[in-house]
Structure 1
Amino acid sequence: MDRKSYSARTLDPGALKSFAHPLRLRLYELLEERGPATATQLAGLVGENTGATSYHLRELARHRMIEVVPGMGRGKEKYWRVTPGGFSYGDADPDPEAARALEFLLDDLVRQRGAELSRWREEERDTPQEWVRASGLGRRALRLTPEETTAMRDAVFAVLEDYRALSDSRLPASAADPGFGHVVVHFDVFPVRADRDPEP
């Protein structure tokens, strides 16, 4: 089954297998959340030594998940950032190892979304009001055909792609600007079985 991708690239099986590693996922999340950082800074955040974080950062860079920020750092010091443009996981690969990696990554995506939503509910009360007013949580249950669902999905992703391109055009200058926030958008669309047992 082919899905339209709105990302700059779709991860190939090698990248999927490399990315499906708990520490690499955490390093990627930290770079995405906090902006550019060195291996030493990241080591302190994840409780690993710099050699380990350097190795895993190089692995992420080998698959173009992250890149060195030009002009940042002194001497041999490297600042890493998430590669602009985003990526998608694509469809299941016939290679069993790549298929298992995709399952791991999708499960981690669900975990990350739950953690981010829970964290927002805790942090909302201490967040400046302009950000609270700009945020939104929503859920809609719709009666649609597969074709209508596909059209809606593509329309939402097209809007998100416009804003992703705007965000990417501001990196890395906006990372330290207090006028900008790290904004996360979750979007899921999937059918719910009508014959499932109702939840209590």
Structure 2
Amino acid sequence: MPHKSHSARTLDANALKSFAHPLRLRIYELLDEHGPSTSTRLAGLLGQNTGATSYHLRELSRHGMIEVVPGMGRGKEKYWRIRPGGFSYGDPPDDLETAGAMDVLLDDLVRQRGAELARWRKAAHEAPAEWGAAGAFGRRSLRLSAEETARMRDEVFEVLERYRALSDGRADSSPEEGTGRVVVHFDVLPLGALPEEPGD
């Protein structure tokens, strides 16, 4: 059953294959974490030369992942940012090359989520009290039908999209007092539909 898209766009096969590159994934991650940046700054963070970083930025831009920030930078200097609206990977592709690219992207998503969870778990006590109180770890194990599971997924994504739109509305302004980067992990894993693992 096709997934309902809750993002502004779904990446096509060419975008999936282009994005599934270690350096492009890292550039996207840095732009997400630090906000708008130049190829020179990103090159320094990545230990790469500016030419290579500029090439990968152009590739990400060509597929609509990032864009130049209007009005930032002097002369030929460009500041790049993640394009507002988000994206989704779509349904599992049919051809092997695109399916392999999606595997790379999903494996990197799992890696990034693990790193973010570990970072918050280790350092949450250092955050201001109001941010510590606003954060949460959550896990639920439910007994639902496939239809109920899909309906729950869609309802949660609708809530997340409301807050994404609120966040995107702030993208062109200076950071507002009291706002900060918030990462939300949401996974729906119908593990009961899988064959039992040996030893279960």
The TM-score by the shorter chain falls in which range?
over 0.9
State the alpha-carbon separation in 2 of the partners of residues 151 and 35 from structure 1: 33
2:65 maps to a residue whose letter is M
- Relative to structure 1, the CA distance from residue 87 to residue 23 in structure 2 (aligned partners, 3 Å threshold; closer, same or farther) is same
Query: 1:148 matched to which residue of 2?
Result: 148
Structure 2 portions without partners, runs of 5+: none
| Structure 1 residue 179: Cα displacement | 2.0
State the alpha-carbon separation in 1 of the partners of residues 183 and 58 from structure 2: 26
State the alpha-carbon separation in 2 of the partners of residues 54 and 177 from structure 1: 30
Q: Any idea what the Cα deviations from partners look like across 1:66-122, whole Å, max 9, x if unmatched?
A: 000000000000000000000000012222111100011011111110010001112
CA RMSD of superposed structures (Å)? 1.4
| Structure 1 residue 198: Cα displacement | 6.7
Structure 1 portions without partners, runs of 5+: none
Identity of aligned residues (%): 67
Query: 2:51 matched to which residue of 1?
Result: 51
Give the 5 Å matches for 1:128-139. Answer: 128-139=128-139
Query: 2:178 matched to which residue of 1?
Result: 179
- Relative to structure 1, the CA distance from residue 97 to residue 125 in structure 2 (aligned partners, 3 Å threshold; closer, same or farther) is same
| Structure 1 residue 178: Cα displacement | 5.0
1:190 maps to a residue whose letter is L
State TM-score, norm by structure 2: 0.95
Query: 1:60 matched to which residue of 2?
Result: 60
| Structure 1 residue 192: Cα displacement | 1.8
Q: Is the partner of 2:99 in helix, strand or coil?
A: helix
Aligned residues: 198
Give the 5 Å matches for 1:25-174. Answer: 25-174=25-174
State TM-score, norm by structure 1: 0.95
| Structure 1 residue 129: Cα displacement | 0.8
